[in-house]
């Protein structure tokens, strides 16, 4: 299968300290990959390099066979490389419907039309309603973001990302800060992502990692030290030493 995302020998240093050290990986359509590692391993820096929020010192990023290393984040989004953030970046006075509609209009190059109201655009209204319903947010479509629960805000971020019709979705701790009672809905949303969408998720919750991922990549000190199945990651000596702790002694993974 042809890779949809290829990262080749990415390097980034700050003040002489290499935080991304010759990192290479690839994702195929439909991949479900978890990127894990200890705090300070360079996970968020790596995602910032891939998405264009940081420029690498060297290396290359390709999307669908096209080199996108020199493109800014918005141009990468338009080509299908979309991310969510560890901390929500929503507008508190806007509604979920307005957020999703704006994403749809931006995707279609019609964002100036938001100066009117999308309720007069049947195609936008229909797609917005479908996405919010899929994420369990239909009942909150017209509520201000400031009035909905944090778990619902994280679901809204996924809805916005899907509205952009990504080919590759990078999720930075999608359940971070969400009460345990609400994480089930986040997991359900992840399970229902389009089958052909390639997903790379940064996550610290190992239970969530083992339920979501079909492949695990471990980053430590800016380098990939493991790339394999969830079952194999618990047996790797370098991973046990660098990160897994008590999970190192789990004999099997559900």
Q: Any idea how long the chain is? A: 254
What's the predicted TM-score (pTM) here?
0.88
> Which percentage of the chain shows pLDDT scores above 70?
91
- Give every strand in the sheet of 58-63, ordered side by side: 17-27, 5-14, 58-63, 66-67
According to the 3-state scheme, what is the secondary structure of the chain? CCCCEEEEEEEEEECCEEEEEEEEEEECCCCEEEEECCCCCCHHHHHHHHHCCCCCCEEEEEECCEECCCCCHHHHHHCCEEECCCCCCCCCCCCHHHHHHHHHHHHCCCHHHHHCCHHHCHHHHHHHHHHHHHCCCHHHCCCCHHHCCHHHHHHHHHHHHHHCCCCEEEEECCCCCCCHHHHHHHHHHHHCCCCCCEEEEECCCHHHHHHHCCEEEEEECCEEEEEECHHHHCCCHHHHHHHHHHHHHCCCCC
> Residue 78 has which token pair?
């338009």
Return the pLDDT at 252: 43
CA atoms within 13 A of residue 15's CA, in its CB half-sphere: 0
What band does 75 get if pLDDT is binned at 50, 70 and 90?
very high
Q: For residues 40, 43, 45 and 50, what is the CA-based torsion angle, rounded to 10 degrees? A: 170
In CATH terms, is domain 5-249 a member of 1.10.150.20? no
Convert the pLDDT of each residue in 149-168 to its tens digit: 988 999 999 999 999 999 99
Tens of pLDDT along 175-234?
888 888 778 888 999 999 999 999 999 988 888 999 999 999 999 989 999 999 998 988
């Amino acid at each position: 299968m042809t890779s949809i995302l290829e990262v080749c020998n990415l390097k980034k240093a700050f003040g002489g300290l290499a935080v991304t050290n010759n990192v290479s990986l690839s994702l195929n359509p439909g991949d479900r990959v978890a990127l894990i590692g200890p705090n300070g391993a360079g996970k968020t820096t790596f995602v910032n390099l891939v998405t264009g929020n940081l420029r690498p010192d060297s290396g290359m990023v390709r999307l669908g066979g096209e080199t996108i290393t020199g493109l800014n984040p918005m141009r990468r989004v338009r080509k299908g490389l979309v991310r969510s953030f560890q901390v929500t970046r929503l507008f508190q006075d806007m509604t979920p419907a307005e957020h999703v509609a704006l994403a749809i209009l931006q995707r279609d190059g019609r964002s100036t039309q938001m100066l009117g109201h999308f309720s007069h655009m049947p195609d936008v209204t229909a797609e917005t309603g479908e996405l919010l319903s899929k994420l369990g947010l239909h009942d909150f479509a017209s509520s201000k973001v400031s009035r909905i629960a944090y778990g619902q805000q994280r679901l809204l971020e996924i809805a916005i990302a899907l509205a952009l019709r990504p080919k590759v979705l990078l999720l930075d701790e999608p359940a971070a800060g969400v009460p345990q009672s609400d994480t089930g809905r986040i997991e359900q949303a992840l399970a229902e992502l389009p089958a052909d969408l390639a997903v790379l998720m940064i996550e610290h919750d190992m239970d969530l990692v083992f339920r979501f991922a079909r492949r695990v990549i471990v980053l430590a000190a800016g380098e990939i030290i493991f790339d394999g199945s969830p079952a194999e990651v618990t047996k790797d000596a370098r991973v046990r030493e660098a990160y897994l702790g008590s999970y190192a002694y789990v004999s099997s993974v559900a």
